[in-house]
Amino acid sequence: MYNCAKCPGYCCSYPLIQLTKRDVERLARHFDLSFEEARKKFTKVETGAKYAMRRKADEHFGRICRFFDTEKRCCTIYTARPTICREYPGGRCGYYDFLSGERSSQNDKTHIASTWNK
């Protein structure tokens, strides 16, 4: 079973992290900002997404969510995180399944250990 606490935050590096209007409102409340301030500061318009999370540089994945702590490898706004982050990944994590499969097929429990803690 996957364990997000041991993961370097692969899903937080997805190119598009889409927010709803309510998500932006929640962020605005969390940071004591107006809706417009939060929208401009935390989101941008992407193809097909009115509110896409802004991202920043990350040494492991290239780019990652602006709210991700790249040292501790965790979310810095857990209680105010967007709906999509609350719902993801549902029952299974594809990233964990991929790494588990690779480790099993290569008979190496430490395969890609630099990105997934043992």
> Least separation, in Å, of the C-beta of 116 and ligand SF4?
8
- Is 96 one of the binding residues for ligand SF4 (CB under 6 A)? yes
CA distances in angstroms from 21 to 65, 69, 97, 110, listed in the order given: 18, 24, 32, 41
Given 61, 89, 100, 103, the residue binding ligand SF4 (CB under 6 A): 89
- Is 58 one of the binding residues for ligand SF4 (CB under 6 A)? no
37 three-class SS: helix
Q: What is the CA radius of gyration of the chain?
A: 16
Q: Pick the piece of the chain touching ligand SF4 (CB under 6 A) from 1-9, 31-39, 42-50, 104-112.
A: 1-9
